């Protein structure tokens, strides 16, 4: 982010339980120097080339576009006074602990957000 801060983004795509061409996108990201993940509410165009990702509690927004190497775009503060360039590179599946990331995303972040 902004050429100086490393971030990690985990984007999970699942088929909608009702079928059709609808998919469910869930995501989270964190700064490399922090342990806490930030839940993102994700919206995408039909081709899944452009993404809008709003941080939980609206502390920022990511506007990203997919390219061959990953995702590029900007992070924008809620008042739009701060903007940082974001360049994300895809990692290979072997280097990523998907089960651990799914547990954080679904069991920790989403469950706690939606728990009564």
Distance CA 67, CA 108 (A): 30
pLDDT of 103 strictly over 90: no
Share of the chain above pLDDT 90, in %: 42
Q: What is the domain partition of the chain in residue ranges?
A: 7-114
pLDDT at 54: 95
Q: In a 3-state reduction of DSSP, which class is residue 71?
A: strand
Stated as kind and residue range, the H or E segment containing 15 is strand 7-15
Share of the chain above pLDDT 70, in %: 91
pLDDT of 58 strictly over 80: yes
Nearest CA to 98 out of 1, 14, 11 is that of 11
Contact 19, 4 (CB under 8 A): no
């Amino acid at each position: 982010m902004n050429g100086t801060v490393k971030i990690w983004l985990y984007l999970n795509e699942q088929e909608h339980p009702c079928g059709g061409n609808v998919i469910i996108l869930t995501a989270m990201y964190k700064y490399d120097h922090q342990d806490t993940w930030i839940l993102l509410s994700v919206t995408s165009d039909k081709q899944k080339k452009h993404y809008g990702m709003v941080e939980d509690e609206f502390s920022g927004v990511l506007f990203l576009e997919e390219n061959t190497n990953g995702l590029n775009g900007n992070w924008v503060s809620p008042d739009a006074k701060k903007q940082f360039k974001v360049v994300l590179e895809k990692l290979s599946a072997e280097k990523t602990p998907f089960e651990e990331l799914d547990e954080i995303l679904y069991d920790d972040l989403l469950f706690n957000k939606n728990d009564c």
